[in-house]
């Protein structure tokens, strides 16, 4: 992982001088409840790496520990906060909203909390989306609801108009929940606020079901996605075993990173082939997917294939590229291509197969969070509030080395985490599936 010269310093709107309202609460072990900016979490804990840097007199790359500070920057009685959810839907969005609102309202005494409707569109007056008043009564029962009560949208909006809206509405603290594109917009909004000399804090909460945000070891919604994906694998396996030469083909999320496909395959080890964007594969030729699949059927009479949505894009012409509202290249449907290629290959061999194709993607995205993700979202939302009230800005709340931390937006934005071809996750997938290399002409091992 490229850490560069990672600097853990988080920008601040000013000196925190107001004693936290949490000091007045009767919390057991209250002295240990607060954290300071000197509490750091090392980025790398690899044997020998820390010792080597100490020996060379180099600073250790580290993140600020997240959590409540004794002194805060904002006066809660005068503060107005806003929350926006952007990009694709993801399990846990409502959990995040609920955690932020309840923490602001009950523990800091912030009463003016607004939801921005339909992502960045909600800031732009031309769309006509009113702000939503967020109170405990509004959010108390949303945990079991999928999607986002605020709605979402894709596509860029004018950054200056967004900041105009924040300034007009006297918003002092903005929480932005979204993936890579949203975090890039968040960074631009924060930079525009700085240029204008405004005292508005901007806190990002990383959201990607694909779990591919740089320097974030886990993102919310991923656990739920894997859990539901394992159910799809079970169904595909049962279908495949129920017929002669049965094949179960499942397409899962993963535009550029195959974390859902690999993790689900390890969680439900009925999978024989895993195809992900990071690892090249061939369909035809000796050692390619189709010949390997034929060998598998000859040996065991059934097979299960998991493919991530971004895998195998080399099989589509670049001239066909289209872009979505956010400027991302629209991926071609590798699942349907595999279905056609598999059917054609075995037809050419006069081998009868029973192929079942399953794509649970949109069902997964709109589901409520499972128990693990719901708990995780609670931590993220509350730590976002702690950071914002302390006057910190231009950061995202992440999870690293089993701690919640403050990650500078500049360190993460524009970069992507991926499955490493030589890493333990992919090696374990190869061991569990036995698929070996699927590049034509390479040794199977």
Give the CATH number, domain containing residue 178: 3.40.50.450
pLDDT value at position 50?
61
Looking at the fold, whether 286 and 359 belong to one and the same domain comes out as: yes
Q: Are residues 181 and 103 in the same domain?
A: yes
> What pLDDT does 1 receive?
47
Claim to verify: residue 54 and residue 75 sit in the same structural domain: yes
Domain CATH code at residue 273: 3.40.50.460
Catalytic positions are 210
Whether residues 54 and 179 share a domain: the answer is yes
CB contact set of 233 (below 8 Å; sequence gap of 6+): 248, 250, 264, 265, 268, 270, 271, 304, 306
3-state secondary structure of 308: strand
**Distance (Å, whole) CA 168 – CA 160:** 12
Residues 156 and 35 in one domain: yes
* Euclidean distance between CA atoms 176 and 115, whole angstroms: 11
Residue 2, domain member (yes or no): no
Within-domain flag for 382: yes
| Distance, C-alpha 335 to centroid of its chain | 22
- Enumerate residues 6+ apart whose C-beta is below 8 A from 138: 101, 132, 149
pLDDT at 17: 96
Q: How many CB atoms lie within 10 A of CB 316?
A: 14
**Residue 445 domain flag:** no
Q: How far is the first Cα of the chain from the last one, in angstroms, to the nearest whole number?
A: 26
97 and 115 housed in the same domain: yes
- In this structure, are 64 and 110 located in the same domain? yes
Torsional class of 285: left (φ above 0), alpha (ψ -120 to 50), beta (otherwise): left
pLDDT at 262: 98
- pLDDT score of 331: 86
Q: What total of structural domains would you count in the chain? A: 2
Tokens of 282: 């061939």
The count of other CB atoms within 10 Å of the CB of residue 298 is 10
Give the helix/strand (H/E) hosting 357: strand 354-358
The total of other beta-carbon atoms located within 10 Å of residue 385's CB is 25
Same domain flag for 280 and 131 = no
**85 and 128 share one domain:** yes
- 3-state SS string for 210-278: CCCECCCCCCECHHHHHHHHHHHHHHHHHHHHCCCCEEEEEEECCCCCCHHHHHHHHHCCCCCEEECCC
Question: Is there a single domain that holds both residue 237 and residue 169?
Answer: no
- Angle CA 319–325–326, to nearest 5: 95
Helix, strand, coil share (%) of the chain residues, nearest 5: 40, 20, 45
Angle, helices 259-267 vs 424-433, to 10°: value is: 50
SS3 120: helix
pLDDT for 445: 45
- State the 10-residue block means of pLDDT for the chain, 445 residues long: 60 96 69 84 72 67 94 97 94 97 97 97 95 97 93 92 97 96 95 97 95 92 95 96 97 95 96 97 95 97 97 82 61 94 97 96 89 97 98 96 94 92 96 94 57
User: Residue 442: inside a domain, yes or no?
Assistant: no
Range of the domain at 324: 223-363+421-433
Q: Write down the pLDDT at residue 30.
A: 58
φ/ψ of residue 32, rounded to 5: -90, -5
């Amino acid at each position: 992982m490229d850490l560069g010269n990672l600097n853990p310093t988080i920008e601040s709107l000013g000196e925190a001088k107001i004693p936290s309202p949490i000091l007045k609460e009767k919390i057991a072990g209250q002295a240990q409840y607060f954290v300071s900016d000197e509490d750091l979490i090392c980025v790398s804990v690899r044997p020998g790496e820390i010792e080597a840097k100490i020996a060379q007199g180099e600073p250790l790359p580290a993140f600020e520990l997240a959590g409540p500070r004794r002194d805060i920057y904002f006066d809660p009685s005068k503060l107005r906060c806003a929350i926006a959810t952007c990009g694709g839907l993801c399990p846990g969005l409502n959990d995040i909203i609920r955690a932020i609102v309840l923490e602001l309202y009950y523990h800091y005494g912030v009463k003016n909390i607004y939801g921005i409707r339909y992502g960045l569109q909600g800031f732009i007056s031309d769309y006509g989306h009113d702000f939503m008043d967020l109170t405990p009564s509004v959010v108390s029962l949303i945990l079991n609801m999928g999607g986002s009560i605020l709605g979402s949208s894709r596509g860029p909006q004018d950054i200056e108009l967004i900041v105009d809206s924040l300034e007009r509405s006297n918003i002092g603290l903005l929480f932005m929940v979204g993936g890579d594109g949203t975090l890039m917009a968040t960074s631009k909004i924060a930079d525009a606020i700085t240029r204008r000399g405004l005292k508005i804090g901007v806190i990002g909460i990383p959201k990607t079901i694909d779990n591919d945000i740089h320097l974030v070891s886990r993102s919310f919604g991923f656990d739920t996605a894997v859990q539901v994906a394992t159910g799809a694998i079970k169904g595909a396996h049962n279908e495949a075993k129920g017929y002669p030469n049965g094949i179960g083909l499942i397409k899962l999320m993963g535009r550029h990173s195959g974390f859902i496909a690999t993790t689900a395959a390890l969680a439900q080890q009925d999978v024989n082939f895993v195809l992900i964007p990071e690892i090249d594969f061939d369909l035809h030729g000796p050692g390619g997917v189709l010949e390997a699949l034929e060998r598998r059927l000859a040996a065991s009479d059934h097979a299960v294939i998991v493919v991530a949505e971004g895998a195998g894009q080399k099989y589509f012409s670049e001239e066909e590229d289209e872009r979505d509202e956010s400027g991302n290249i629209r991926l071609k449907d590798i699942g349907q291509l595999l279905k056609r290629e598999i059917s054609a290959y075995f037809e050419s061999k006069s081998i009868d197969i029973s192929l079942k194709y399953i794509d649970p993607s949109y069902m997964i995205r709109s589901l409520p969070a499972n128990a693990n993700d719901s708990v995780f979202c609670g931590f993220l939302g509350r730590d976002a509030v702690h950071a914002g009230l302390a006057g910190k800005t231009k950061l995202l709340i992440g999870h690293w080395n089993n701690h919640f931390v403050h990650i500078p937006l500049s360190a993460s934005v524009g970069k992507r985490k991926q499955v490493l071809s030589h890493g333990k996750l992919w090696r374990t997938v190869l061991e569990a599936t036995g698929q070996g290399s699927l590049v034509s002409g390479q040794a199977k091992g």
